[in-house]
Amino acid sequence: MRRVLRLFRRRRKSDSSDETGGSSSGGIRESRGVFRRTLGLKVLQIVPVLVVVTFFTTALSDLIPGSTALAYLGPNAGPAAVNNFNREYGLDHSLLHRYWTWVTNALQGNLGLSYQTHSSVSHIIAQHLAVTVEVGLLALLISLLLTVPLAMLSAIRPGGLIDRVVTGTSSVLIAVPVFITSVLIVYVLSVRAGLFPSSGWASLSAGIGPNLRHVALPVITVVLGVTPLLVRVLRGDIVSTLGQEFVIAARARGLPNLYILFRHVLRASMASLLTLMGLILGFLFAGSIVVETFFGLPGLGLLASNAVTQKDLPIVQGVVVFVAIIYLLANILVDLLYAVLDPRIGSHR
């Protein structure tokens, strides 16, 4: 026990020195250094990934069996129509020439023209992005607000009543496919209760009330799919952290449980949660195809689904590249948060 108490005193001394500023300058400089190194390395890692993704998305037209022009115009299109189509969209050039042209245009914000509407792909993605961002941000915020208290309540007494209820409910929600959850939510809250519209979208320009009523069911669906995963991960890490020596020492000193949980345990248990959140953040901002298609939301998910159905390759290419960038940025954000929470972790990533 004396060894445990000495360990806790050293930890408390380190924490208090950070708070009082006695030795904080060195720690701050170290954290900033790790932060800069992590950011620089991750930015360098983005470049080859984006090159591979953009090259293969540019090669989509060559990977499709047959002629891209015939695939879009139909098998009865004449040679003149096919030649005009290829000339208009640059398909009469080699793959490397098309890729270089696409990259130079993309760096200027030009992702090409849609086969279907002849509109700018960048403009089309921007129009659909606001819907996906709103749904994603609301769902992520609500999920985090639910995850932390539920995980803590469940982890305080493993095997207790609250833990069994939270774990069992999470297991059921994880096992249920998202389209089944969508159907049940629409039936209960829209068909039976009549509280929210079952589909459609109202922008913020139409008023906050109509906007929230239309966004409610999609957000609830995403929250029910995301929160159980976060709760299970954070609950497991908290249970593991509660068994560590510095927590036992803190309890031996008579510190309040809430102080121990929020001051020491929660921060030490965030690594796995941050990793999962990075993946979920990319998924939410890239657009959930199932949710947006089911509820008729004009977001990136529905845009990508319609583009694939209509064989609109420039739209598909633009969305794929945008999704790749979102996932990469989410990964960078997670690694930077690692470096902030624990420089020892960030310096080895």
Task: Provide the 10 A C-beta neighbour count for residue 49.
Answer: 14
| Cα gap 171→149, rounded to integer Å | 18
The reply to whether 190 falls in a domain is yes
Indicate whether 169 pLDDT > 50: yes
Task: Provide the 10 A C-beta neighbour count for residue 36.
Answer: 11
Number of domains in the chain: 1
| Cα gap 190→197, rounded to integer Å | 6
How does pLDDT run across 287-321, given as a tens digit for each residue? 578 888 889 889 888 888 888 887 788 888 888 88
Cα atoms found within 13 Å of the Cα of residue 47, Cβ hemisphere only = 4
Indicate whether 161 pLDDT > 80: yes
Residue 273 is part of a domain; what is its CATH number?
A: 1.10.3720.10
Across the range 52-68, mean pLDDT stands at 78
Across the range 36-61, mean pLDDT stands at 78
Q: Are 323 and 332 in contact (CB under 8 A)?
A: no
| DSSP 8-state class, residue 199 | S
- Host domain of residue 159: 122-346
| Cα gap 234→261, rounded to integer Å | 13
The reply to whether 296 falls in a domain is yes
Q: What are the backbone dihedrals phi and psi of residue 270, each rounded to the nearest 5 degrees, phi first?
A: -90, -10
| DSSP 8-state class, residue 263 | I
The reply to whether 95 falls in a domain is no
The residue among 28 and 123 whose pLDDT is bigger is: 123
The reply to whether 226 falls in a domain is yes
One DSSP character per residue, 9-49 reads: HHHHHHHHHHHHTSSHHHHHHHHHHHHHHHHHHHHHHHHHH
Q: What are the backbone dihedrals phi and psi of residue 73, each rounded to the nearest 5 degrees, phi first?
A: -80, -25
The reply to whether 187 falls in a domain is yes
Burial code (b: 16+ CB inside 10 Å, e: under 16) for 9-31 equals eeebeeeeeeeeeeeeeeeeeeb
SS3 assignment, position 331: helix
| Cα gap 48→57, rounded to integer Å | 14
Query: What proportion of the chain, given as a percentage, has pLDDT over 90?
Result: 15
The reply to whether 326 falls in a domain is yes
Element (H, E) at 17: helix 2-20
The reply to whether 255 falls in a domain is yes
| Cα gap 39→17, rounded to integer Å | 27
CA 58: distance to chain centroid? 25
How does pLDDT run across 237-294, given as a tens digit for each residue? 888 888 888 888 887 888 877 788 887 788 778 778 888 887 787 777 665 788 888 8
- Which of 254, 252, 278 is CA-nearest to residue 331? 278
The reply to whether 6 falls in a domain is no
Indicate whether 345 pLDDT > 60: no
Locate 269 and state its tokens: 């248990």
